[in-house]
Amino acid sequence: MATDTMAAPVTVTGPKIKSELMQQRVRAARWFLLPMLIALAVVAGWPLLRSIWFSFTDASLNNLYGAEWIGFGNYLRWTVLESGTVRYRGVLADPGWWNAVWNTVRFAFWSVLWETVLGMIVALVLNAEFKGRGLVRAAILIPWAIPTIVSARMWSWMLNDQFGILNDLGLRLGLLSQKVAWTASADTAMQAVLVVDIWKTTPFMALLILAGLQMIPKDIYEAAEIDGVHPIKQFFKITLPLVRPALMVAIIFRVLDALRIFDLIYVLTPNSDATKTMSVLSQENLFQFDNFAEGSTQATLLFLIIAIFTIVYIWLGKVNFDGGDR
Amino acid sequence: MASIELRNIRKAFGAVEVIKGVDLEVRKGEFMVFVGPSGCGKSTLLRLISGLEDITSGEMLFDGKVVNALAPSKRGIAMVFQSYALYPHMTVYENMAFGLTLEKGNSKDEIRKRVERAADMLQIRQYLDRLPKQLSGGQRQRVAIGRAITRDPKVFLFDEPLSNLDAALRVATRIEIAKLHEEMDNVTMIYVTHDQVEAMTLADRICVLRDGLVEQVGTPMELYENPNSTFVAGFIGSPKMNFISGDKAAPFNADTVGIRGEHITIVPSGGTWSGKVIHTENLGADSYVYLEMGTEEPVVVRLDGQNNYKSGDTVEISPMADKVHRFDAAGKPIR
C-alpha cells in the first residue's frame, strides 16, 4: 500500500537482448527447479504414464509385465451379434461407471458448496476481534487435523443404526420414530458422507478464506462506514469481491480433493452403490476384482475429468494464483 | 457547514487513557489543524469526531446537537485517510460514486454530475475509468479527496493525508488543499498532521496536542509569537526555537530563555552570549550556523543569504530584545 509502483511489471524484453545477468538468473532458476521436477517425474509422472499405458493393455494383477496393447478396448469396444444388434462393452458403456461419475459429481458439488458457505461464515467470525480468538481458531481446526480414517470410523460409530449416538439422540428428542441405518440405507448414505465431509473440511476452507480476509485492509471498511454502507452491502460489495481470488483458489483445492474422494467413502459406506465414487470403483477394479486394465482405464478417465475441469475453471474464473488483486 | 464543540472529551482503550479531557470549539467554515508529536492523540481525536471510535466520556456537539451516539454516515462528514483507503476493486469513478449510489434519491445523472465536478476540481477526470492500483500515490490521494468532496460534507476530516507522499508532491498537494479550502469556504475542515509546516501553512487555527490534552489553540502567528509553553514554542517554527537556561538565562530574569534562530544576530563584539561554531548549513536563500555554548542542544542562528563561518570559529551573538521568550521553571511563559 505504501509503495507507489506504477504498474510496469518487469518483463523480459525479447530473447535477443538478454543480458548476462538475466541469463545467469535463468540458469540459476533451472537448477533450483531441477530437484522438484525430478521428484515430480518419479512420484507423479511415471506412475501416471504407467497407469495410462495399462489402460490400453490387457494387464491383470498376476501378469503386469506380460500386458499386451489392445488399444481403446478397455474404454469402448463393441461386437456385432449374429442378430445384427451391436453390443457395447468397456468402461464407457458400463452403467456402474456412470453411476460412480454421477455420485462423484454430486458429492463434489454439494460438499464444496456447503463447505464454501459455512467456511465463509466461520472465517468472517474468526476475522472479527474477540477475546479468546486464538483458542477458537486452533479449536476449529481439530476436525481437519484428525486423520480421515479415524474421523470416518468415529462417525460410523456415531451413525451406527443399532447403538449410534445420533439415533439415540434422535429417538430421545422425538425427532426420529425409529432407528435409521444412516450409512447402509441407500436413501441416506450420500447425505451421511456429505455431512462427515463437510464437518471435516469446513475448517480448511475457513482457514483459506480467513487468510484472504486478512489481506483486506481495515481502513476501507472505515471508509465504507463513513460512506454509510450497510454491513450486508459491505459484504457483497467489498468483502466478497476482494476475497474472491483467495476464494477461487480455495474452491479449486476443494473440488480437486472432492473429485478424487476415496478414504471417507471406503470406510464409512463400503460397497454402497449410492456413494461409490470413481476412485472407489477404480480401486476395487485394480486391486480387488483383478480387473487391472479396467481400473487403470477408470483412473485415467478420472484424471482426464479432473484435468478438464481444472482447466475450464481456471480459464472461466480467471483464477489468479499469484494471490491478491492489489 | 457545521460548528463542532468538544466538552471534556475522554477516550480510553482498555486501561490506557489516550484523550484526557479535551475542550475545544471548531468554528463554522474554519480550517483547524491538530498538530503534535506521535502518540499525542491527535488521530484518535479526529476519529472521535468522525464517529469511527466511541467516546468514553464527555460530549461532542455538531451545531449544538449532541452526536455522541450518531453513526459516522449520519454526521455529514467526509474523511480522507492517510492510506487513501480506496476500494481497490472499483474504478476511480465507482470509488467516488459509491457513497452517493447508496443514498436515496440520487439520480444517475446527478451522481455523474457531482463526481465529474469533483474530478474537475482535482484534475483527475482522465483517470475516472482506472483502478486505484493504476495510479500513483499522489493521484490516489486526490481520488480520496475527490471521493470526500462528492459527499458534499459539512465537515471535512483529513488524517495525515500527505504523509505517504514524497516531498515535492507533498508541497503541491498542500497547496491544492489550501485552494480547496478557499473554494469550499462553507465547509469546516479538520486536519491532522505531525508536520508543523503543514499546520502553519494551512491552518486558520492550530490546536497543539500533547499527551491527550490541548496545549494551546490559536492562529499560526499567535502560536509563533506567543507560545504559552516551551513545548509549543519548540514545536512551532523551523528551525526549532533555541532554549537557553541556567546562568546564561539569569540576566533575563527567567529560568529558560527561548529565542528563535531568525531572531539572533551575530555581533562583532559585546554580544550577550558567545559560542563556538560546530557546523554550518547553506541553503542558498538563508543559512544556519550551529553554535556550541553549553546548552543541551546546539544553538541555531539563522542568517539571510550565505555565510562564511567555519567550524571552530568563536562568535558573539545577541538576541533581538523584543523577540525573547522568557519561561519559568515549569515551562510557562513569564509575561
Q: What is the pLDDT of residues B118-176, one digit of tens each?
A: 999 888 999 999 999 999 988 999 999 999 999 889 999 999 999 888 888 889 889 98
Judge: A226–B133 Cβ closer than 8 Å, yes or no.
no
pLDDT at res. A6:
45
Q: List the single residue in B with minimal CA-CA distance to A238.
A: B87
Burial of B154 (0-12, 13-18, 19+ CB in 10 A): buried
Mean residue pLDDT of chain A comes to 88
Residues of chain B with CATH 3.40.50.300: 4-234
Angle between helix B92-102 and B108-121 (nearest 10): 130
Total number of residues shown for chain A? 326
Residue A275 in contact with residue A189, Cβ under 8 Å?
A: yes
* Best to test chain A binding among B102, B143, B145 (most A CBs inside 10 Å): B102
Q: How confident is the model at residue A81 (pLDDT cuts 50, 70, 90)?
A: confident
Domain boundaries, chain A: 95-317
DSSP B104-165: TT--HHHHHHHHHHHHHHTT-GGGTTS-GGGS-HHHHHHHHHHHHHHT--SEEEEESTTTTS
Of A201, A317, A316, the residue nearest A248 (C-alpha): A317
- The answer to whether A192 and A159 have CB atoms below 8 angstroms apart is yes
Q: What is the chain B residue with the closest CA to A220? A: B85
ipTM of the complex in this document = 0.83
Residues of chain A whose C-beta is under 8 A from some C-beta in B? 1-2, 4, 6-7, 217, 219-220, 222-230, 233, 237-238, 241-242, 325-326
Q: Looking at domain A95-317, which of 1.10.390.10, 3.40.1360.10, 1.10.3720.10, 3.40.190.10 is its CATH number?
A: 1.10.3720.10
pLDDT at B13: 93
Q: What pLDDT is stored for residue A8 in this prediction?
A: 45
Q: Are B249 and B324 in contact (CB under 8 A)?
A: no
Structurally, what CATH architecture does the domain formed by B241-327 represent? Beta Barrel (2.40)
The whole-number pLDDT of residue A17 equals 63
Which three cell numbers, joined as nine digits, stand for B100?
A: 452517493
Give the chain B residue nearest A244 (alpha carbons). B89
- Determine whether the interchain pair B102/A223 forms a contact, defined as Cβ–Cβ distance below 8 Å: no
| Cα A59 to Cα A70: distance, rounded to the nearest angstrom | 10
Regions of chain B short of the pLDDT cut 70: 1
- Best interface-test mutation with A: which of B89, B115, B140 has the largest number of A CBs within 10 A? B89
CB within 8 Å: B102 and A225: no
Give the minimum alpha-carbon distance from B214 to chain A in angstroms, rounded to a whole number: 26
pLDDT at residue number A93: 87
Range(s) of chain B covered by CATH 2.40.50.140:
241-327
pTM above 0.90, yes or no: no
Tell me the residue type at B123.
Q
Q: Check B83 against A219: CB less than 8 A apart.
A: yes
Helix (H, G, I), strand (E, B) or coil at B241: coil
A1-33: per-residue pLDDT in tens? Answer: 444 444 444 444 555 567 889 999 999 999 999
Taking the Cβ of residue B137 and every Cβ of chain A, the question of whether any pair is shorter than 8 Å is answered with: yes
- Out of A1, A6, A326, closest to residue B136 by CB: A6
Mean pLDDT within A169-195: 90
Please state which of the ranges A63-77, A265-279, B76-90 shows the lowest mean pLDDT. Answer: A63-77
Please tell me the distance in Å from B132's CA to the nearest CA on chain A: 8
The CATH superfamily assigned to B4-234 is P-loop containing nucleotide triphosphate hydrolases (3.40.50.300)
Listed in sequence order, the DSSP H helices in chain B are 42-50, 92-102, 108-121, 137-150, 167-183, 196-202, 220-225, 230-235
Question: What integer pLDDT is reported at residue B1 of this predicted model?
Answer: 59
Q: Is residue A326 over pLDDT 60?
A: no
Check CB contact of B87 with chain A, cutoff 8 Å.
Answer: yes
Using CA atoms, how far apart are residues A96 and A268, in angstroms rounded to an integer?
20
Alpha carbon B235 to its chain's center:
11
Contact A247, A115 (CB under 8 A): no
| Distance between CA atoms of residues B314 and A250, nearest Å | 73
Instruction: Give me the pLDDT at residue A30, please.
Output: 95
